[in-house]
Structure 1
Amino acid sequence: MKNRILVIDHNSKFSDNLLELSKKDYEFYSAESVEEGIKLIREKFPDLILLDLKLNNGINGIDILKEIKMIDAFIPVIMITDNGSINTAVKSAKNGSENYISKTSSPYEMKSLFDKTIRSKLNKQKSIEIKQEIEKPFFNIVGSSEAVKVINEKINLVAKSPITVLITGESGTGKELVARQIHLKSERSNEVFVAVNCGAIPVNLIESELFGHERGSFTGAVQRQLGKFEIAENGTLFLDEVSELSLDAQVKIMRVLQEKEFERVGGNKTIKTNTRVIAATNKNLKNLVDARKFREDLFYRLDVFPIDVPPLRERKEDIPELIHYLLYNISIELKMLPPKFSNDTVELLKSYDWPGNIRELINYLTRSVILCAGKEITQEMIARSLIDCHKKDFFVPGNISLKWKEMNKQRKNAAEVASRKVEAEFAKKLLEKFDGNVSRAAEYAGINRTNLHKMIKRAGL
C-alpha cells in the first residue's frame, strides 16, 4: 500500500518534479489552490501534506497550516520553502508543522524526510495507544489463601520465560491481573502490556484490531491503523476470551505464534513480531476442540503453561484482605473517604457466594465508597438503606429464621437485593455528576460503557 502525499503549491513545476521522485513508493495528489487542497484532505486522507509557505493571492501558508490542523491534528505537514524563507519555515514549526524542505533539495533528501515523517506519525499513534494502556487502573493479586500462593508460585516460575501462558477461570476472577503480574515480573516489564477482549470485538473487525489495516482495505478504513501486535511489540499481548475468536482468526493467531510474523489487513508487507502472548478463557477449550469450535493446534500452542484461577467462593478467607486493599485503592481513585466496615459486615460479605467474583466485589465496594464515604457500614445500615424490606424472605436483623435452609435463602436474597439497590444509586449519581454523558461517566468510573448502559436500563433511569 503506497503512502499518500498531498502537495498544496501554486508552482506546478515543483509538483511535477515530485511526481518523478518515486512513483512506486508514494501516491501523489496536487492542489494549486487552498480550496482544492482542503477538498483533497477530506477526500483522500493523506499520510503527509507538503504545503508551500507562499501561495497565490498573497495567502500565507502558516494560516492554511492552522486550518489543516483543525481538520486533523495528526496529519503531518512539511513546509515547502524557497532558499530565502528558511526563517519563516522554522517559525511555522510553532504552529504545528513537522519540518520544512527547500524546493532545491535533492530527491534523496526529499524521500528521506518524507519516509521519516510518515514513520514518526505511526510512532506517535503507537505512543498514544501505549499511554492509554499504561493509564488503565491496575490492582494486585491479594490474599493469603493456599490458592493464591499456588498462583503466585506459578507466576514466578513462568515470568522469565518467553513461552505462551493460558489462564483459565470464571469471569471476574482476576485472570488479567495474573497476566499483568507475569508481565511485570518478566524481562519485558519495561515494555507495554496490551489487553484485548476478543469477545467484545465484532467478528469482521477482530483481524484489523489484532493485526492492523491499511487505508482503503475495507469500508471506513480511511487511514492506516496499527494493530495490537505492533503496539505490544517487545511487550506482552493479553488475549482475553480467546475462545470467542473465529476459526479464521485462530488460523492467523496460530501463524503468528509459529512464524512470529503477520501482515496488516489489506497489506502485503510481512511484519516480524517479538510480542509475548498470554491468553485467557472462562470456557473449557478442550471441550470446544472436541466440538470443532476451537483449533486443536492452537489449543496446544496456547496451553503450554496453564494457570487456573479459582472463583472467590473457593477462597473466602481472602475477602477481608481484598476489602481492605480494594477500599484503599478505590477511595484514592475516586478521591473520597472510604466507608468503614464492621467485623459483622465483613462476615456477612464473606457468607455471600459472589457469583461475579472479584469484579462483583470491586463494583460493590465502588458503590459503597460513592454512597457511604466516611461512614461506618453495619448490618443494620445495609438492612435499613440497601435492602428492599418489602420483599419476602429477605434478611433483616431481628427477623432472621432459625431454620438453616430458610436463613441461607434470606442471606443470599439480601445480598442480591442490596447489590441491585446500590447499582441503581451508583448509576443515578454518575449520570447526575456528568449531566447524562454516559461515555464520560463510564470513563470516570472505570467501567465499560456497555455495562453502564445495562446498569442504567436495569435501574429504569
Structure 2
Amino acid sequence: MKQLILIIDDDENFIADLKLLLKKNFDAVSADNIQEGMILLQKHSPDLIILDLMLKDGESGLSAIDLIKMEDKNIPIIMVTDYSSVETAIKAIKKGAFDYISKTTKISELKLLIDKALEHRLLLLRTKAFEEDLEKPFKNMIGTSVVMQKLKEQIQLFANNSSTLLIYGESGTGKELVTRQIHQISERANEPFIAVNCAAIPKELLESELFGYEKGAFTGADSRTAGRFELAGNGTLFLDEIGELDQRAQVTLLRVLQEKEFYRVGGRNPIKTNARVIAATNKKLETMVKKGLFREDLFYRLDILRIDVPPLRERKKDIPLLVKHFTKVASQEAKVPLKMFAKESLQLLMDYDWPGNVRELYNFIMRAVVLSQNSEEICLNLPDRMRLGVLDAYYQLDNEIKSWSDLIEARKNAADKASRQVEKYFIEKSLIKYNNNISLCAKELGIDRTTLHKTIKRIKDGEN
C-alpha cells in the first residue's frame, strides 16, 4: 500500500500537477482550506502533509500547524509557498514544520525531502512506541509535574500490596481514576473492580448493598442477592466517599476488614472475602475522628497505606496537557472539528485556581468547545471570563465613592476600562487570525493601516 500525502493548498493547478507527479510513489488527497484539511486528517490519517503558507480568505498555514500537531504530533509537515523568506521558514519550523520549500522547487528535490520526512516520522513513531511501552500503565494519568510523578511512583509502589489503602483528595481530583490505575497494574487486574459510592446509597440499604441478602430477609427480598464484597471476589472494592458512612455501617465495615469475612443480611453462614479494599474521601477523617463523627479504629484500619491526590492548583504545569487532551475528547463527543485554545485564553486557564479541579476544567472545556463552533480557535466569552475572575479589574475603584459626583466619575472610569479591555482583546485576536499581517488585518477590519497602528500603540501604551 502506498503512503498517503495530504495537500492543503488553494491553488488548483498546483494540486493537480503535484498529484500527477507524486502518483507513481504516493497516494494523495487534497483540501483548499484548513477546516476541510483537518477533516481529511482525522478521516484518513495521512503519513505526511504538504501545507501552503497563504490560503484563501486570509487563512495562514502557520496557524494550521498547531491544530495538526494536536491531532498527530508526529506527522511531518512541509510548508510550500510563493512567498519564500527565511523569517517565515524559521517560524514554520519553530512551530513544528519539518521543512520549507517554494513552489518552484524541482520535483526530484521535493521527492527527496518527502522521503527524509517520512524516515524521520518512522523514527519518531518507533521512539514513541518505546516510550508508551514504558509509560503504558499510566496512559490515563495525564501530567508530567513533580507531584504527578510522585503520584505515579506511589501507585506503582502500592499496586501489589494487599493492605487497605486510603486515598484523599478534593472533589474532582480523580480519586477513582487513581484507584483504577492501581487495580489495572496490580496482580488483581484480571479480577473484578467494583466501585461503591457510599454517599449515594441510603443508610438503611447500605448493608444489603455491600454484603447482599438472603431470600426473605426483608420485604421485597425475593431471591438471594450477592453484595459488592461478594461480587469483588479476589479483585478490588473501591469505597468512595467513605466519610459518609454512619456509625452502624462503620462498625460493620471494621469487623469485615478485621475478620476478612461477612454475613449476608438474613444469613447465618460467614462468607470469606479476599477483595482488596481501597477507600477514598474528600473529608479530613482525622478531624472527623476528633469530633466523634468517624471511628478511630476504623480510620487506622483504613489508613495503613495512604495516597494524597494533588489538587489542580498545585500542578498547573499539567494544565496545557489536560486542555489538549480534553479539547480533543470534547471535540469528538460534540462532533465538531478539532480546534486549539487561543494563547490568551489558555493563559487565563493557567491563572485560574480551579476549585472543582480536573472535573471542573473538563466541563469548562466541553462548554467552550461547543460554543466556539463558528470561530477558528477557542476563545473565552465574557461569561467565561467573569467565571475565571478576569473581569474584576473593570470594577476596582481607585477612590472611595462618597458622593453622587464620585459615582458618576467611577462609572465613567469603569466604562473606559471595560472599553479598553474589549478593544485589546479584539485587536489581539484579529492580529493572531491574520498572522500579524498589518495590511491584511486592516483590510479585513475595514480600516486603514494608520488607524490600526495607532490602535495598537494606544493598547501598548495603556499596558505600560
Give the aligned partner of residue 276 of structure 1: 276
Of 391, 410, 429, the residue aligned with 1:395 is 391
One-letter amino acid of the structure 1 residue matched with residue 258 of structure 2: Q
Give the aligned partner of residue 209 of structure 2: 209
Bigger drift between 339-348 and 213-222 goes to 213-222
TM-score by length of 2: 0.52
Output the CA distance in 1 between the equivalents of 2:336 and 2:230.
Answer: 38
Change (3 A) 1:226 1:334: farther
Q: Secondary structure at the match of 2:326?
A: helix
One-letter amino acid of the structure 1 residue matched with residue 264 of structure 2: R
Structure 1 residue 378: deviation in Å? 4.5
TM-score by length of 1: 0.52
In 2, are the aligned partners of 1:338 and 1:374 still within 8 Å (CA)?
no
Give the aligned partner of residue 155 of structure 1: 155
Output the CA distance in 2 between the equivalents of 1:324 and 1:362.
Answer: 11
Output the CA distance in 2 between the equivalents of 1:374 and 1:305.
Answer: 50
One-letter amino acid of the structure 1 residue matched with residue 276 of structure 2: R
In 2, are the aligned partners of 1:337 and 1:374 still within 8 Å (CA)?
no
Matched, 1:231 2:227: no
Change (3 A) 1:301 1:394: closer
Task: Show the 5 A alignment for 1:91-240.
Answer: 140-240=140-240
**Once the two structures are aligned, what percentage of the paired residues are identical?**
53
Bigger drift between 369-378 and 155-164 goes to 369-378
Change (3 A) 1:313 1:209: same
Task: Show the 5 A alignment for 1:224-263.
Answer: 224-263=224-263
In 2, are the aligned partners of 1:337 and 1:369 still within 8 Å (CA)?
no
Give the aligned partner of residue 324 of structure 1: 324
Structure 1 residue 245: deviation in Å? 0.7
In 1, are the aligned partners of 2:194 and 2:228 still within 8 Å (CA)?
yes
Change (3 A) 1:202 1:343: same
Report which of the two structures shows the higher radius of gyration computed on alpha carbons.
2
Give the aligned partner of residue 454 of structure 1: none
Change (3 A) 1:263 1:375: farther
Bigger drift between 209-218 and 238-247 goes to 209-218
One-letter amino acid of the structure 2 residue matched with residue 223 of structure 1: S
Structure 1 residue 252: deviation in Å? 1.6
C-alpha deviations, 1:193-225, integer Å up to 9, x for none? 111111111111111111112233223333332
Unaligned runs of 5+ in 2: 1-137, 399-412, 422-464
Give the aligned partner of residue 77 of structure 1: none
Output the CA distance in 2 between the equivalents of 1:196 and 1:152.
Answer: 24
Q: Secondary structure at the match of 1:349?
A: helix
Change (3 A) 1:150 1:218: same
Output the CA distance in 2 between the equivalents of 1:190 and 1:328.
Answer: 30
Give the aligned partner of residue 346 of structure 2: 346
In 2, are the aligned partners of 1:195 and 1:240 still within 8 Å (CA)?
yes
- Name segments (4+ residues, structure 1) moved above 6 Å: 399-403
Give the aligned partner of residue 382 of structure 1: 381
Give the aligned partner of residue 286 of structure 2: 286
In 1, are the aligned partners of 2:369 and 2:378 still within 8 Å (CA)?
no
Output the CA distance in 2 between the equivalents of 1:226 and 1:376.
Answer: 53
Structure 1 residue 372: deviation in Å? 3.2
Aligned CA-pair RMSD? 3.2
Q: Secondary structure at the match of 2:367?
A: helix
Q: Secondary structure at the match of 1:340?
A: coil
Output the CA distance in 2 between the equivalents of 1:330 and 1:264.
Answer: 43
Q: Secondary structure at the match of 2:279?
A: strand
C-alpha deviations, 1:381-400, integer Å up to 9, x for none? 513x7568xx9x97299x69
Output the CA distance in 2 between the equivalents of 1:219 and 1:346.
Answer: 56
Change (3 A) 1:204 1:306: same
Output the CA distance in 1 between the equivalents of 2:156 and 2:397.
Answer: 47
Unaligned runs of 5+ in 1: 1-137, 415-461
Structure 1 residue 227: deviation in Å? 1.1
Structure 1 residue 290: deviation in Å? 1.5
Q: Secondary structure at the match of 1:328?
A: helix
Higher relative contact order, chain-length normalized (CA < 8 Å, sep 6+) = 2
Output the CA distance in 2 between the equivalents of 1:394 and 1:329.
Answer: 26
Q: Secondary structure at the match of 1:306?
A: strand
Output the CA distance in 1 between the equivalents of 2:397 and 2:235.
Answer: 56
Change (3 A) 1:221 1:338: farther
Structure 1 residue 373: deviation in Å? 4.6
Output the CA distance in 2 between the equivalents of 1:259 and 1:317.
Answer: 44
One-letter amino acid of the structure 1 residue matched with residue 182 of structure 2: I
Give the aligned partner of residue 309 of structure 1: 309
Output the CA distance in 2 between the equivalents of 1:225 and 1:333.
Answer: 37
Q: Secondary structure at the match of 1:163?
A: coil
Q: Secondary structure at the match of 2:262?
A: strand
Structure 1 residue 335: deviation in Å? 4.5
C-alpha deviations, 1:149-174, integer Å up to 9, x for none? 11111111110111111111111111
Output the CA distance in 1 between the equivalents of 2:213 and 2:369.
Answer: 42
Output the CA distance in 1 between the equivalents of 2:232 and 2:374.
Answer: 41
In 2, are the aligned partners of 1:341 and 1:377 still within 8 Å (CA)?
yes
Structure 1 residue 327: deviation in Å? 2.3
C-alpha deviations, 1:233-256, integer Å up to 9, x for none? 111111111011111111221122
In 1, are the aligned partners of 2:211 and 2:226 still within 8 Å (CA)?
yes
How many residues of Structure 1 are paired with residues of Structure 2 in the alignment?
265
Change (3 A) 1:244 1:396: closer
In 2, are the aligned partners of 1:342 and 1:376 still within 8 Å (CA)?
no
Output the CA distance in 2 between the equivalents of 1:274 and 1:318.
Answer: 37
Output the CA distance in 1 between the equivalents of 2:268 and 2:370.
Answer: 52
Task: Show the 5 A alignment for 1:29-48.
Answer: none
Structure 1 residue 286: deviation in Å? 1.3
